[in-house]
Amino acid sequence: MRMRVDHHPVLGKQTDRKQVTIFFNGKPYDAYEGDTIASAMMAQGVYALRQHEVSGNARGVYCNIGHCYECRVKVEDRKVVRACLTTVYHGMEIDSLSGFSEGNE
Amino acid sequence: MKVWNLLIVGAGPAGLNAAIAAAGEGLKVKIIDEFNRIGGRLLGQLHQEPNGEWWNGIDVANRLHEKAITLGVKIESGVSVYDLEQSEFGWKVYTSEGMEKTEKLLLATGATEVPTPIPGWTIPGVMSIGAAQVMGNVHRVKPGNTCVIIGANVLSIAIANELRLCGVEVKEIVISQPNSSLTHSGTPEKVMESLLQLTHLAPSVLLRQAGRVAKYIHPSLAVKFYPKNGMNILDIPIKIKTAATEIIGDKKVKGVKTVNIRSNGEIIPNTERITEADFVCIAGGLAPLPELAALTSCEFKFVHELGGHIPLHSERMETNEPNLFVAGNITGVESAKVAMAQGTVAGLTIASEIKGNKKHSDSAIEEALLTVRKEREEALIQFQPNIARARELIYQQFELDWKAESPKRSIS
């Protein structure tokens, strides 16, 4: 699944960007330089970015500009960031935060 | 450590123009913004002006960004502000990248979207309408091939068209369930009323036509004859007599459950159906984002016409807190052009305080104030009626509370 808007009737053609590889829960995905984690994953059709701490239900991007904190993910095994504000880089390792019930976190 | 003359939080239309005005007067200015690109809400904007020309927010943002850089403004993106503290020189501003010192502080943090919580709204693939706009126009990623929008207002209709340009099929715009304690939206009659008030200023020719007709019809009559299956604007069915009751899906959204409703919001029995969609947008409107001002002893006021709670301020964008200024949508939800004009006023006011060249700056500020009023009058999209009047009351209240000798009293 690829959901890029390469050609736009008003904004024009998307100029060539450098492709990078990122890892989400250990699996490699294509992304472009300038992508946020949120846009890169959505372009691949991956909507669920974390599990709710208590219910374990899937959660994803809601506001996309840093206000709602719904898209929190873990980067490089330590830092929790908002996926919608964080720019990707080649080799970036991103992991979902899981529900407490599973005893993972 | 360096002390800036002016630190601006928010690199949107207001913040960028304030920086340009202040740096133009010789001030040392820095802007910080937590998004990874410069331009704020401008970045998503894409609509046609009445003369047929496109308002391309990305181009506008790039122009302002370049101009600010040329004038020596330091701009940092991807930096968040966590706390503010008054100090002997002005302000200490605590950010994700350390502490900044500044004489004057301008909050140009813009607006945030008002959520409309309905059952299922946390399922992945449900997002605010602005989220979809940024995904499509800024990141150039379609959140899916098909979508349903919950909430019929001028913003959702404009963005529905933008999603269409990105190649998304907007299956329908429905309203959120009326009379729910969780949502602000009203009955079909109320929705119609607000849409009609806006149509004469709306971006599309079709909406303007609808507005012309509306002058002669009462909203209650218009909604009575409003077709059950909706009216198409730019091929998008707008169904104000259909309400969303639930969003369905588990790990990913599947669609929206709706019912037909009467003009007064009453549900018509046995009309439940499901519209499938790859993603669902919630459009609850915009409200000022004043959290940082709330960390100070700045006075607040709730003003319905301006979208919610705003820091009380003067027409010159001062607050009652020393060395704290506001500009743009934090002072009330309006168009980007108004925000830009307010930014210029704030930048010049601040420069005047620092430079102390009152005579020169007063005429420049007066001219900038005229531009604000002109942009407000000519605004294509007015988010609420009676904005100009509400603004006047705020300025009068500020003068009464903080400039006059007399004790405080409320005028509104």
pLDDT in tens, B246-289: 999 988 999 999 999 988 888 899 999 999 999 999 998 899 99
The answer to whether B34 contacts chain A (CB < 8 Å) is yes
Residue for token digits 């913003």? Answer: B155
Asked if B131's CB is within 8 angstroms of A66's CB, the reply is no
Distance CA A84, CA B190 (A): 34
Higher pLDDT, B220 or A104: B220
Question: What would the mean pLDDT of B156-183 be, rounded to a whole number?
Answer: 85
The answer to whether B381 contacts chain A (CB < 8 Å) is no
Question: What would the mean pLDDT of B97-102 be, rounded to a whole number?
Answer: 97
Residue B406 predicted with pLDDT over 70: no
Distance CA B108, CA B382 (A): 20
How many CB atoms are located within 10 Å of the residue B272 CB?
A: 13
Higher pLDDT, A8 or B403: A8
Q: Which residues on chain A place their C-beta less than 8 Å from a C-beta of chain B?
A: 3-6, 8-11, 14, 35-36, 38-39, 42-43, 47-49, 52, 57-68, 70, 84-87
Higher pLDDT, B35 or B265: B35
Distance CA B216, CA B198 (A): 15
**Chain A residue closest in CA terms to B54:** A10
pLDDT confidence of residue B410: 58
B126: chain A residues, CB-CB within 8 Å: 62
Which among A14, A42, A48 is the nearest to B143, CB-wise? A42
Interface probe, candidates B36, B76, B247, chain A, greatest A C-beta count within 10 A: B36
Which among B34, B124, B166 is the nearest to A59, CB-wise? B124
pLDDT confidence of residue B82: 95
pLDDT band per the 50, 70, 90 thresholds, residue B184? low
Question: What would the mean pLDDT of B287-316 be, rounded to a whole number?
Answer: 95
pLDDT confidence of residue B361: 82
Higher pLDDT, B398 or B48: B398
CA atoms within 13 A on the CB side of B66: 6
pLDDT confidence of residue B51: 77
Asked if A8's CB is within 8 angstroms of B166's CB, the reply is yes
Least confident of B105-109, B251-255, B274-278, B408-412: B408-412
B32: chain A residues, CB-CB within 8 Å: none
Which among A5, A42, A65 is the nearest to B35, CB-wise? A65
Question: What would the mean pLDDT of B377-383 be, rounded to a whole number?
Answer: 72
Picking from A45, A59, A10, the residue whose alpha carbon sits closest to that of residue B44 is: A10
Write out chain B in H/E/C secondary structure: CCEEEEEEECCCHHHHHHHHHHHHCCCCEEEEECCCCCCHHHHHCEEECCCCCEEEHHHHHHHHHHHHHHCCCEEEECCCEEEEEEECCEEEEEECCEEEEEEEEEECCCEEECCCCCCCCCCCCEEEHHHHHHHHHHCCECCCCEEEEECCCHHHHHHHHHHHHCCCEEEEEEEECCCCCCCCCCCHHHHHHHHHHHHCCCCCHHHHHHHHHHCCCCHHHHHHCCCCCCEEECCEEEEEEEEEEEEEECCCEEEEEEEEECCCCCECCCCCEEEECCEEEECCCEEECCCCHHHCCCCEEEEHHHCEEEECCCCCCECCCCCEEECHHHHCCCCHHHHHHHHHHHHHHHHHHHHCCHHHHHHHHHHHHHHHHHHHHHCCCCCCCCHHHHHHHHHHHHHHHHHCCCCCCCCC
**Chain A residue closest in CA terms to B134:** A64
Share of chain B above pLDDT 90, in %: 67
Asked if A60's CB is within 8 angstroms of B124's CB, the reply is yes
CA atoms within 13 A on the CB side of A29: 28
Residue B179 predicted with pLDDT over 70: no
Asked if A64's CB is within 8 angstroms of B126's CB, the reply is no
pLDDT band per the 50, 70, 90 thresholds, residue B378? confident
pLDDT digits (tens, 9 = 90+) for A60-74: 999 999 999 999 999
Which among A4, A8, A62 is the nearest to B131, CB-wise? A62
A39: chain B residues, CB-CB within 8 Å: 135, 139, 141
pLDDT confidence of residue B201: 44
Which among B58, B112, B141 is the nearest to A42, CB-wise? B141
What number does CATH give the domain B3-112+287-403? 3.50.50.60
What number does CATH give the domain A7-100? 3.10.20.440
Domain boundaries, chain B: 3-112+287-403, 115-284
Which class is B115-284 in CATH? alpha beta
Measured at the CA of B135, the angle between CA B131 and CA B136, to 5 degrees, comes to 120
The answer to whether B36 contacts chain A (CB < 8 Å) is yes
Question: What would the mean pLDDT of B112-127 be, rounded to a whole number?
Answer: 94
pLDDT band per the 50, 70, 90 thresholds, residue B79? very high
Domain boundaries, chain A: 7-100
pLDDT confidence of residue B113: 93
Residue for token digits 């004469």? Answer: B200
Residue B87 predicted with pLDDT over 70: yes
pLDDT digits (tens, 9 = 90+) for B331-365: 999 999 999 999 999 999 999 999 987 777 889 99
Q: Give SS3 for A38.
A: helix
β strands within A11-95, DSSP E = 12-13, 19-24, 27-32, 50-51, 58-59, 72-75, 79-82, 93-95
What tokens were used for B86? Answer: 């008054």
**B179–chain A nearest CA distance, Å:** 24
Q: Are B351 and B317 in contact (CB under 8 A)?
A: no
Interface probe, candidates B134, B141, B145, B281, chain A, greatest A C-beta count within 10 A: B141
Least confident of A36-40, B190-194, B300-304: B190-194
Residue B203 predicted with pLDDT over 50: no
CA atoms within 13 A on the CB side of B280: 34
B3-112+287-403 and B115-284: identical CATH topology: yes
**B50–chain A nearest CA distance, Å:** 16
pLDDT confidence of residue B157: 86
The answer to whether B144 contacts chain A (CB < 8 Å) is yes
The answer to whether B128 contacts chain A (CB < 8 Å) is yes
Asked if B113's CB is within 8 angstroms of A85's CB, the reply is no
Beta bridge partners of B247: B256
B115: chain A residues, CB-CB within 8 Å: 62, 68
**A9–chain B nearest CA distance, Å:** 7
* Number of cross-chain residue pairs from A and B with Cβ atoms under 8 Å apart: 108
Mean pLDDT of chain B: 88
pLDDT digits (tens, 9 = 90+) for B219-250: 666 666 677 776 666 678 888 889 999 999 98
